[in-house]
Amino acid sequence: MLDFYSIESLLTPEQRAIRDAVREFVDGEILPNVRGWWDRHEFPAAIKDQFGAIGLFGPTLPQEYGCAGIDNIAYGLINYELERGDSGLRSFASVQGALVMYPFFAYGSEDQRRKYLPDLAAGRLIGCFGLTESDGGSDPGAMRTRARRDGDGWILSGSKTWITNSPIADIAIVWAKDDEGVVRGFIVPTDATGYSAPTIESKMSLRASSTGEIVLQDCRVGHEALLPDSGGLRSPLGCLTQARYGISWGALGALEAVYTCARDYAATRTTFGKPIAGRQLVQDKLVRMLTDHTLGLLMSYQLGRLKDENKMTFAQVSMAKRNNVRVALNGARLAREILGGNGITTEYPVIRHLLNLETVDTYEGTHDIQTLIIGREITGLGALE
């Protein structure tokens, strides 16, 4: 792991062992193949079994539900290593863990947890999280999807867009307003009548991840579909806080990948009789990338400690997501410059990470939305609504 400040020395033996195992998996199974998956816009379906087998889905949730019960720094390191491979594959695991398994854990009944969590943890079931609608993802309170009471069940109607995993999912967590206008979460089997999930094609980002819509045409689900403890926008936003935490670590993995590539390239690329690594302007770019990586890692490490102590606030998470993703994106642009023309081909990982990070900077709350969340926290004045 890129580690200029010896953060390694702060890790427990268990955290190191988990990090090393995932790093080895990424080196052996993802890095040799990811360029082909990305170029072909192909989600590697077999990876769900591998992720399940090594415990990458919802690993902080308790062991009694088939999960690993690890701490949040170990979880952050998993995200870091996965995204060093590819942001799309980290997104696949993040959605499953933070946006599908977490709402079962936080808002589901005990029956729902026991029924679904072990299969989700093992990768036997894949889920997606449907919050965003086409009218504006930044304003989920304006959602139009409705859940109407129908006898002892519900009828869902509406549509969602930009949903990671929706074309490949077995179940969807769909957020809809009930008859009283309260946002509730529903577990929707993707083979339910009236449910479809068309793929979004021609994506130039997260191309190793599957993204689609969710279309609900009078889709009937039973009473047991409701997550009973969900209620209000704070329920889906609570899931986003979990996901943003993992993203803050993941983006630094992508930054390691582009920094390392640019540093190694600069060491061997010679112009005017000298390696470009010996040029001040190139060194400035490398130093900026490494400094940003170091600061981001310290931030996420401390955030993980706060999360383990149940002291992490959503504004702290917003700050880490906002900062770490943007510095990774800026770093990927600098790395692309260092690679010159070679920086635009997928023969090198840089352009793939750069384009992936455009999504990571946007989803789970855009950079500017995170700014407004933090701004409201420090001034007490809301500039978002």
Q: Does 204 bind ligand FAD (CB under 6 A)?
A: no
**Please, are residues 194 and 154 in contact by the beta-carbon 8 Å criterion?**
no
Tokens of 345: 């081909």
CB of 24 to ligand FAD, least distance (A): 28
Q: Which is nearer to ligand FAD, 107 or 162 (CB)?
A: 162
* Total of chain residues touching ligand FAD, rule CB under 6 A: 23
| 8 Å CB contact between 126 and 165 | yes
The window from 65-73, 104-112, 130-138, 252-260 that contacts ligand FAD (CB under 6 A) reads 130-138
Contact between 97 and ligand FAD per CB under 6 A: no
Instruction: Tell the smallest beta-carbon distance from residue 91 to ligand FAD (Å).
Output: 7
Distance between CA atoms of 18 and 253, rounded to whole angstroms? 15
359 touches ligand FAD (CB under 6 A)? yes
Half-sphere exposure of 113 (CA within 13 A, CB side): 19
Nearest distance from C-beta of residue 109 to ligand FAD, angstroms? 23
Instruction: Using DSSP, state whether 155 is helix, strand or coil.
Output: strand
Return the residue of 2, 68, 147, 206 that touches ligand FAD, per CB under 6 A.
Answer: 206
The DSSP element (H or E) to which 162 belongs, if any, is strand 153-164
- When the beta carbons of 120 and 261 are compared against ligand FAD, the nearer one is 120
Interface with ligand FAD by CB under 6 A: which range of 45-53, 176-184, 345-353, 366-374?
A: 366-374
Residue of 60, 94, 132, 210 that binds ligand FAD (CB under 6 A):
132
Given 358, 364, 377, 385, the catalytic residue: 364
Q: DSSP 3-state helix, strand, coil percentages of the chain (rounded to 5)?
A: 55, 15, 30
Residue 133 to residue 137: CA distance in whole angstroms:
6
What is the C-alpha to C-alpha distance for residues 10 and 362, in angstroms, rounded to an integer? 31
**Residue of 15, 79, 211, 323 interacting with ligand FAD (CB under 6 A):** 211
Min. distance of Cβ 368 from ligand FAD in angstroms?
Answer: 4
The reply to whether 138 sits near ligand FAD by the rule CB under 6 A is: yes
DSSP 8-class letter at 199? B
Q: Which of residues 18-77 bind ligand FAD (CB under 6 A)?
A: none
131 binds ligand FAD (CB under 6 A): yes
Assess contact for 292 and 333: CB atoms under 8 A: no
Exposure class string for 305-335: b at 16+ Cβ within 10 A, else e: eebeeeebebebbbbbbbbbbbbbbbbbebb
**Which tokens sit at 201?**
């094609």
C-alpha distances in angstroms, 1 versus 26, 78, 245, 274, 299? 12, 12, 19, 29, 16
C-alpha angle 365-94-384 in degrees, rounded to nearest 5: 10
Of 75-83, 126-134, 183-191, 217-225: span binding ligand FAD (CB under 6 A): 126-134
Q: Which residues contact 161 (CB under 8 A, 6 or more apart)?
A: 132, 133, 134, 200, 213, 214
**Positions 144 through 203 that interact with ligand FAD (CB under 6 A):** 162-164
Which of residues 28 and 382 has its CB atom nearest to ligand FAD in the complex?
382
Out of 18, 47, 95, 219, point to the residue binding ligand FAD (CB under 6 A).
95
Active site residue 83: no
Residues that bind ligand FAD (CB under 6 A): 95, 129-132, 136-138, 162-164, 206, 211, 359, 362-366, 368-369, 372, 384
Which residues are known to be catalytic?
A: 364
